[in-house]
Every structure is written in structure tokens, then in C-alpha cells.
Chains A and B, each alone.
Chain A
Amino acid sequence: MTISVSMTVNGKAASGNVEARTLLVQFLREHMGLTGTHVGCDTSQCGACVVDVDGASAKSCTILAVQAEGAKVTTIEGLAESAEKLHPMQEAFREHHGLQCGFCTPGMVMSAIDLVKRNNYQVTEDIVRHGLEGNICRCTGYHNIVKAIVAGAASMKAAGV
């Protein structure tokens, strides 16, 4: 049995028929083809699946697709203004080499943006390190991710996003 679900994904109407057990991340990846949101674990620990749901970051492996009925969802694919112009946080990750294999990166960037907004664009290394506890990276040792987020916060503020 399937259930019809509708939401707004990256500014566009999105709908589909899903099983009751279908997770939001499966809906995004398999129904919408938005494979930038990744699955790195099965216990909601790693944060590779973080997206924005109605203005707050959420682990999309922990939400059923039907729970997102009517929600506004932004994924990593919806961040950049255009192919040429990255979001300031994406640009900061590039500038500071805050990514290596790229697998945790979409979740890191989505978490980072929420973290910066929650802290009113004022973040320190300490705030960032504690605020990132829901995201695991195995490549970078976090050093450059932390640098990127501190710099990205300033760029976001300057850009007013």
C-alpha cells in the first residue's frame, strides 16, 4: 500500500507515492533523484543525510517521508544560487579545503549553515566543534571544516544569507 505525499523541495513542488516506512532521505534520493543527500549510517549518528526542513536542520534518515507532508525542504542541491555562484558556506569549504572524499560534505554544509544561523552568525572554534557533534567526517580530522565554518559564518553575514 502506498501513501501520497507532497512537499516543496528546493523551491519546487514535489510529490510521490511512498510506502509508510519510506524515509525522507529515500524519498529525496530515490523518488526525486536528489542523490546529494547521503546515508552513512543506520543509527542517526553520522549526519551525512542532514537537510533543512522548514528552516531547521534535520537528519532525513530519521524522518518518514509522510512526516514531511507539506514541508519546505532544502537539500544540498538547492543551496547554490547558480552553477557559478556557490552559497558562501560551500565556498568557504572549498576555500579552506574542508572536504576530501565529499561523502559527509553535504550534511556538513547543511549542518554548518543551521549552526551559524542558530548562533546569530557569531561562531567560535569551540562553538563549531560542539555544534558539529552530530556530523562525522573520517577524512579531514575536522581541522579545516572548523576553519571553513568560522570563515563561512562571516561570509554568510556579509552576504546577508
Chain B
Amino acid sequence: MSNVSKIGDRVHRKEDRRFLTGTGRYVDDLQLSRCTHAHFLRSPHAHARIKGIDTSKAAASAGVVAVFTGKDTADAKVGGLICGWVVKDKHGVPHKAPGHPAIALDTVRHVGDTVAMVIADTAANARDAADKIEVDYEVLPAIVDLTKALSAGAPQVHSDVPGNLCYDWELGDKAAVDAAFAKAAHVTKIDVVNNRLIPNAMEPRAAAAEYDRGTGNYTLHTTSQNPHVTRLVLSAFVLGIPEHKLRVIAPDVGGGFGSKIFIYAEETLCVWAAGKVGRSIKWTADRSESFMTDAHGRDHVTHAEIAMDKDGKFTGFRIDTIANMGAYLSTFATAVPTYLYGTLLAGQYTTPAIHVNVRAAFTHTTPVDAYRGAGRPEATYLVESIVSKAAREIGVDPAELRKRNFIAPTAFPYQTPVALTYDSGNYVPIIDEAMKLSDYAGFGARQSAAKAKGKLRGIGISSYIEACGLAPSAVVGSLGAGVGQWESAQLRFNPTGNVQVLTGSHSHGQGHETTFAQIVSDKLGVPMDQIEVVHGDTSQVPFGMGTYGSRSLAVGGSAIMKAADKIIAKGKKIAAHLMEAAEADIVFENGTFKVSGTDKNVPLAQAVFAAYVPHNYPIDKVEPGMDENAFYDPSNFTYPSGTQICEVEIDPDTGVVEIVHFVAVDDFGNIVNPMVVEGQVHGGIAQGVGQALMEAAAYDNATGQLLSGSYMDYTMPRADDLPSFTLGYKTTPCPHNPLGVKGCGEAGAIAAPAAVMNAVRDALAQVGAQDRIEMPATPQRVWAAINAR
């Protein structure tokens, strides 16, 4: 047998050859015939009334095919962009969802809001023409400061959303929490800002839309993590093109991190306008547009308090958070600071009473939505920051305090006070391994040595929990999700024995073409080079929900397992016929059907061939063909957990923070491909370190201008900003999915900010500055914290 792979093998990726030779095919690489190019005129103001638009000079400009404004899309009854998750507030009232036209009608509400669309024969001509559009703006006061957005007198973002309040939501037992605080031996309080981030997938968003006048069919090539959801939203809510007349293809996609889940104005308008002008239209964001229009992430301001008894056991936890929605509700914005945040605030701990209140606010900023981790990094940063602060206050080692409060391995399934039921986990061996790998015991000596040369050393721990593998459809439906969150798979064998694995998941860097093939190779004994994973095209693959929330393997992989079971079941019937044996006596091992206790056998490929050439075939019992599909709806979320330990050294003269050692130990359940998992963890940590030390989407409070609107101003982590990482694993298999897997895509980004910041605070504690630092802990901020008087 040639290259059959097993689950757990470190298999090199099948997709790498094309990426390494420049033969990947991203949206902007497409060459469509008679293609036109779109350019979007953007608002230069955070808040302004559009008193008039004169497009006549643009329309007469060289190469221009069409110019559209908000009036044109309104006249054509193009629907507004939608939010697909309805959060009900503490009184049961649905969130406020103000209109979100693809092109602004009479008001612009953030820098970068779409004002007009120009279509021309070349991208350069479209851009030149857009410069000739004359817009008469009446500039209005803007609110970008989240802490003031809900205050009386703040400028209003939408006239139909009083006080800019999208919703006021709560979770947990407030009375129980109040009672716990009344009896507390010690209370630790904290204020944290979870800084706004810009996802920055390296491939900018892009769309290429085609319209076939003969059939009336539309095709959209787009940078999407979930092409079927894009099609559904465009069809059912925005454009009214029937789903069967719209094909959405997400080809090679250059990273997403959440920002490519959402349905944006640009691809919507390209599809609509392609029908209007009868030609293909292509648009690719330049990086400045990405900064202004890709949904941003995080952006919370929180006050929290934790109550402890005399032994340092957590007895109550209260949290008050304001979350920024930006100017409009992005596709899943409302779920992020509620069901993906409030539900995670138990962390790894037995805290019996928790109450969280979240107010979501509109501001004149780019919409905010899910970014790698989505709600869970915000929860982890808060929980792990306050736990380390509490440890310092009561004089207990932060690792010891965590261990005292961990949920015991015997307690699973564990019902938290904030809705979730953790399925599995074993937290002490994880933190012990992380302490070993980081030489936690030797830290004191290293800190003294650093002090001797004038440096401040600190060590920080972050023990995270996440809920991923989104998700049981009935559960998310009851919480307001507009979609189910199962996943689909189809195993389409060909007569010659090779197989296409069609998946509703989408790979934009995760390596599904390899890991999903490994599952099939392991389960069915098919060599890796005989397996092709197909994803991202609504005309090829069954309806699927796409990739986000570390769900692809846990949900999509499980669907593949189910489909493989159906292949085996059908193959047994065929093999029983071919070997003239009873079906009950057939076993399937290593890709071969065998009659139990004999040496008679039929390889899977032979059964497949018989299914397609059914000359000698149990046609009365089994249909021809070998093509099975499956849909998998999980019974619970999965709960990856882990501990990261970061050690930093700060130069007090410059404020520069150097990460000297970074350890991550994770429990992802079973691992399909360790090489791919390591890569996911590395990348996640880098994004978390970026949030902690470098990245911030900064707005000017007076004008609402985005100050960090390019790579000159927004600090992306570069190779010399980061160390190499030390990784470790402990495994408790997920008990409720067939692969026993939990998901690994977001863990690094979820845990790292707290690990880094706890280390920074630990270092700064030597000079009493531990409570004077917020993310990102830039050299300027660190220096200012040290030198504050």
C-alpha cells in the first residue's frame, strides 16, 4: 500500500506545492474576460450628512462604465446588510439593528463608509474617476470614545437608537453574586481595556462577480470563510437573487481570522452591479481600505470584581462591560460580547456565582465583529488578569491560586454558573507541564540576575478555557442565531477508486486539504494521493456553514467520519455479495473488507468498482454508485483548555518589553496532524502577543479619524518582535464527537494577551507600576508607567 496516513501522523501538506510555486489561485488572480473594475469612494469623515453628490464628471471620465450612489441602490431595492444573530436584552427586547445600506444614503457614519461605486475598464481609471465625484458633506460631531458613547449628550450614531445603546444584556445570578461579596474575605477589583484590533489577513478582501445573460446566473468569487452563508444572506436578505441562480466560490483565501466570515458591502455591490452593467466586475481592497472597512475586533471596556474566602477560593465574580459595535451591526457582531464572552467567564474555575452585564454601544467607527477567538480572548484576558492580581494582593503564588480553584477532573461534565456545560478537561497536569517547560521554579534566580543588570523580569500565567466547535444548532438557535451550525461532508468515490472529499468547511490556511484527507486515509485506508479535498464552491459542495470558531475539525471532520461510516456500511453489503458471505460476517480493516475468520477479502477499491460497474452486484439490496453524504450537528461545544506561561524582560530606560520565553501547553483532545496544530498555536500566540504589546486601532477622539490606517501606523508583529515558542500537550479526548477532537485554531490568541500582560505587570510590580499599564504595552506606555509620579 502506498502512502496511507494515520490520524496523528505529521504529514506534510498537500496544498503547499501550489502556494510555494506561485500557482495558488486567489480571487485577485482571476482573469475574467471583458472584466471591469470597481472602485469605492469612501467617506473621509466619521460623521457627516451628505447634502449632495455630483457624479457627472466621474461618469464622463475615461473608461467609466457606470457610477452608482446610494440613491441607485435604494431605487433598485437593494436590501441593507444584516446582522444574523438577534440578542435579546435583559428585558427580552431584541437588540437595536439600525439600517445598514451597502452605499450610504444621506449620512456617513464612519471613516471609510461607502459613498459611491465607480466601475471602469481598468482599476486605475475607476480610481481616477472616483476622485472626480463631488460630495457636499455637512460634517457632524462624532463619537468614537467607547467610554463616553453611552453618556448623555454623546453624538447620536443612529436617530432610531437612543443613547447609542444596542442592547443591555446580562447573564448569571446577580443576587447570588451579591451574597458572595457580602461574605467575602477579600475582594480584588480591576479595570481593563481590551484594545480594538484590525485582523489584517495578508490577502486583502476581494470580489469578482460575473453575470451570464443567457442563463441569468450570477457567480461571485470572493474572499470568504463561508461561501454558502454568503450566498444565503445575499439571496434571502439583500439582493433577492434566488440561491440556485447564485454561485459563490471562495477559492484560495489568504487568511481570514474571522474578518472574512462577514457579508460586506463590496461583494454585495459587485454582484448587483454585474447584473446591472452586464459585465464582470472585479474589486480588490487596497490595504488602506482593509484598515477602514474590514470588521475590527475586541474593543471592550470592563470593570470587574472577584470575591474570595479566607483560603483564596473564588466565591463570586461580577463583571460590567461596554462593548463597541462600531457604526453598524456586522454579520455576527452582537453574539461576540454576549454568548461568546459572558459564557466563558467561569474560566477553568469553580467560582459558584457569576454575573455579567454587557452594554453594546454604537460609535462612529468601523463595525466590530469576530476576530480570532471572538469574545473568548476578551473573557480570558479579564479572568486571567484578575486572578493574577488577586494572587498578588493576597500573597499567594499565581499558579497555586489557580490550582486551588481549578475544576477537578472528576467534576466533568461540569455545569458553570454562566450557561455552559464543560464536557472534559484536566487542568492541573497542564499547568504543571507549563511550569516545568518554563522552569517556573527557577524564575526567582533569573529575576535577580536581571535585576543585577538593571532589567525588570516578570513571569505571567494564563490558563484559558474556550468553547468552540460551534455548535449545537438548537442551542445557538435558542440564543438568537439565524442559522444552524452543523457541517456537511460528502465522500464521492470515482470508479477507479480515488475519492473526492467535499466539505462545507473552508480552508484559508488551516490545511484541511491535508488533515481532512488524513481522516479519510486513516478511516478507509485510501492512499493520500488518491484523495482530493474540495471546498469553497457552492456549486460543488453540499451546503455548509464554513470555518470559524475552531469548528472545522470538530464539526466538519465529524461529518466526514459519518460519511465514511456510510461508505463502509454500503461496502460491506457489496463485499458480502462478492464473497458470497453473510453481511454480518464482514469486517473492514486497513481498507479491505474481510470475511471474519477467513482469508477471503475484497479491497475497498474493488467494492467501489463493483458499485459503478454493477454486473455482479446485489442490485435488489443496494443502489449502484459509491457517493455518500452526511450532516453532523454536535451535541455540545468542545472545550479546549491550556496554560501559557510568558517570561519578559523590560528595559526600564527604554520601556522595551522583550519576550524571553513563551510556553504553551494545550489540551486539544486528539490531534490529527501535530505539525499543523503547532502552526496554528504559533500563529495564534503571535496575534495574542501583537494585541498585548503592539497592536491598536487608534481613533482621534476629536475628528473620528482612524490614526492607525496603514502598516506605517498599525504595528504588525514581525519576525524580530517574537521569540520561538515552546509547546506541550496533554490530552483528554472530547467525549461527544467521533474523532475526540476539540479544535486548536484560536487558543493561542485567546490565552496569550493575559500571559504577556501578567508577565509585564509582574515585572512592573518591582517598581510599583503594575496597575498603570494597559494593552498594548508599547515602550512609550511602559516607560510612562515606570516613570509616573
Contact = CB atoms under 8 A, between A and B. Distances in A.
B202 interface: yes
B22 A138 contact: no
B16 A132 contact: no
A40 B288 CA distance: 10
Contact of A146 (B17, B257, B685, B719): B719
B719 A129 contact: yes
Nearest to B284: A39
Given A43-B287, A133-B719, A141-B722, A94 B17 contact: yes
Contacts of A36: 21-24
Contacts, number: 183
B675 interface: yes
Interface residues of B, number: 58
Nearest to B712: A43
A106 B31 CA distance: 20
Nearest to A107: B202
Contacts of B13: 94, 97
Nearest to A106: B22
Interface stretch (B108-116, B407-415, B475-483, B503-511): B503-511
A143 B20 contact: no
B203 A103 contact: yes
Contact of A129 (B19, B31, B712, B720): B720
A100 B508 CA distance: 8
B246 interface: no
A interface, size bucket: 35 or more
Contact of B19 (A95, A99, A140): A99
Contact of A103 (B254, B682, B686, B710): B254
B287 A40 contact: yes
Interface in A4-63: 19, 21, 29, 33-43, 45-46, 48
B712 A46 contact: no
Contacts of B724: 125, 143, 146-147
Contacts of B200: 138
A109 B20 contact: yes
Contacts of A34: 22
Which applies to chain A's interface (DSSP): helix, strand, loop or mixed? loop
A34 B25 CA distance: 11
Interface string B673-702: 001101100111111000000000000000
A40 B22 contact: no
Q: Which of B202, B508, B724 is most buried by chain A, counting CB atoms within 10 A of its CB?
A: B202
A75 to B, nearest CB: 7
Which applies to chain B's interface (DSSP): helix, strand, loop or mixed? loop
A100 B253 CA distance: 10
B21 A97 contact: no
Contact of B719 (A79, A100, A128): A128
A66 B525 CA distance: 55
A135 B711 CA distance: 11
Interface string A135-151: 11111111111110000
B355 to A, nearest CB: 36
A104 interface: yes
A136 B683 contact: no
A104 B722 CA distance: 18
Interface string A69-107: 000000111011000001000100111010111111110
Interface string B775-788: 00000000000000
Contacts of A147: 724
Contacts of B707: none
A140 B201 contact: no
B16 A38 contact: no
B552 to A, nearest CB: 14
Interface in B710-731: 710-712, 716-720, 722, 724-725
Given A42-B286, A45-B712, A103-B203, A97 B23 contact: no
Contact of B202 (A86, A130, A137): A137
A37 B22 contact: yes
A101 B719 contact: no
Contact of B23 (A21, A29, A77, A101): A77
B720 A102 contact: no
Nearest to A93: B20
Nearest to A41: B287
22 contacts: A35-B29, A39-B28, A39-B284, A41-B711, A46-B287, A76-B21, A94-B13, A101-B508, A101-B509, A102-B252, A103-B24, A104-B254, A129-B722, A132-B720, A133-B719, A136-B716, A138-B202, A138-B683, A138-B716, A139-B202, A141-B686, A141-B748
Given A138-B257, A141-B685, 9 more contacts: A21-B124, A37-B22, A40-B202, A97-B12, A101-B201, A101-B253, A102-B19, A136-B718, A138-B716
